[in-house]
Amino acid sequence: MTLPVTAERIRTDRLTLNVLSVPGTSGEPVLFVHGNVSCSAFWRSTMTSLGEGFRPYAVDLRGFGGSDPEPVDASRGVRDYSADVLALLDRLGPVHLVGWSLGGGVVMQVLRDRPAAVRSLTLVNPVSPYGFGGTTGVDGTLNSPDGVGSGGGGANPEFVRLLREGDRSDGSPLSPRSVLRATYVAPGTDLGEEEDAFVESMLSTRVGDDHYPGDFLPSDVWPNLAPGKRGVLNSIAPTNFRIDDLHEIDPKPPILWIRGDQDVIVSDTSLFDLAHLGAIGAVPGWDGTPAQPMVAQTRAVLERYGAYREVVVEGAGHGPHLDRPAEFRAALLAHLRG
C-alpha cells in the first residue's frame, strides 16, 4: 500500500511555508530540502519509503512550490533559505536534515548556524561549500574578485524563457522536461508516472530577478558576467556563499555525503560551469580559466570536519533518490539509524 502524502501551509514568523508530511508515521523527524528549479514533490517517493521509526517532512523553499514567493537577498548567501528552514525547526524541533543540490548548501548553512538543531546531515549531490562557479582549487580561490563566471548570468536564456512560459513538452533540448531527463537523472532513466509531477514541480519555480535565475552584472573578465545581489543563482555565487569552517562547529553531527557517479550538474567537469563549457568550446572566448573542482572542494571541507561518510552510487545522476532509489534509501537509512 502506498502511504499518502499531505501538504500543509505552515505560518512562521518569516513567511508561510508549504510542507509535505506522511500521516500516521512516528519517530524521529527527517526534513528533506529540495534543489534548484524543483520543489518538495521530488521527495515524495523517498518520504513514503522510509519505513518505521521516522516522521518524514519536505519543505518548499521560498519561491518554489507552494511556499510564499518572498524575494531572495543573495547578498546573504543562502541565509534567506536557511533562516526559513530554521523558523520551521522552531516548530519541529531537532531533525535529521537531508539536502539535495541547492538544498545541500541550505542544510550546510543550517548546520553552520545552529548545529544543535541537527541530529544528522545528509548531503545529496550538494552544491560546493564554495558555491557554484567562479572558483578554482580545493580551497575555493576566486577566479576574479567580482566572482565572474557565477551567478544569475550563468543561466541559459532559452531555458529561462521556456520555464517562464510553462513549457511541458520535450520539443526543445532546453525545455524543463528535456533538462530533467538529461541532467537531473542519468541518461536513459525512465521516471514513469512521476515524470509529469516532476515537470510541474520545476514549473513551480518563480522566474525573475528576485528568484530564478536572479540579476547579474557585467565584468571585464571572461566570460564577462558577474553575480548580482538578488535571486537563487546569486545566493550560491562564491562572493556571497562560502562555508569552509564546518570543522569549527560544536556539536558535530554525523554527515552522509551521497552522490551519483554520473552527475553532470555538480561535478569537477560540470556542464553548468561556464569555465568547463569554455574549455570544451561551448562558450566562446575561453581564456584558460579552469573548471571548478566541485566534488574535490566538498571532500576537502568534509575531511576537515571529520565525522562524515561518502557513498558514490554507480549509474546515478544528479538525483540518486530518483534514478537509484533502492541504493539511495539503503544508504540513507543506514545513516539515520546509525
DSSP 158-200: HHHHHHHTT---SSSTTSHHHHIIIIIS-TT---TTHHHHHHH
The answer, yes or no, to whether residue 1 has pLDDT greater than 60, is no
For the beta carbon of residue 187, count every other beta carbon within 10 angstroms.
Answer: 11
Query: What is the average per-residue pLDDT within 224-241?
Result: 98
Q: How far apart are CA 35 and CA 315, in angstroms?
A: 20
Predicted confidence (pLDDT) per residue in 246-281, tens digit: 999 999 999 999 999 999 999 999 999 999 999 999
Q: Are 315 and 241 in contact (CB under 8 A)?
A: no
The domains found in the chain, sorted by start residue, are 6-337 (3.40.50.1820)
Query: What is the average per-residue pLDDT within 112-130?
Result: 98
Query: What is the average per-residue pLDDT within 2-26?
Result: 94
Predicted confidence (pLDDT) per residue in 165-207, tens digit: 999 999 999 999 999 999 999 999 999 999 999 999 999 999 9
Classify burial at 146, counting beta carbons within 10 Å of its beta carbon; exposed 0-12, middle 13-18, buried 19 or more: buried
Is residue 115 classed as helix, strand or coil in its secondary structure?
helix
Give the CA radius of gyration of the chain: 18
State the virtual CA torsion across 273, 176, 78, 96 in degrees, nearest 10. Answer: -110
For the beta carbon of residue 288, count every other beta carbon within 10 angstroms.
Answer: 8
Residues 6 or more apart from 250 whose CB is under 8 A from it? 115
Among the listed residues 271, 238, 236, 212, the one whose alpha carbon sits nearest the alpha carbon of residue 74: 236
Whole-Å CA distances, 33 to 44, 286, 297, 315: 12, 35, 21, 23
Predicted confidence (pLDDT) per residue in 50-102, tens digit: 989 999 999 999 999 999 999 999 999 999 999 999 999 999 999 999 999 99
The answer, yes or no, to whether residue 3 has pLDDT greater than 90, is no
Q: State the pLDDT confidence band at 2, using cuts at 50, 70 and 90.
A: low
What does the chain come to in residues?
338
Determine the angle formed by the axes of helices 79-92 and 102-113, rounding to 10 degrees.
Answer: 60
pTM: 0.98
Q: State the pLDDT confidence band at 6, using cuts at 50, 70 and 90.
A: very high
Q: Are 113 and 140 in contact (CB under 8 A)?
A: no
- Report the pLDDT value the prediction gives residue 175, as an integer from 0 to 100: 98
Average pLDDT, the chain: 97
The answer, yes or no, to whether residue 39 has pLDDT greater than 90, is yes
Query: What is the average per-residue pLDDT within 234-242?
Result: 98
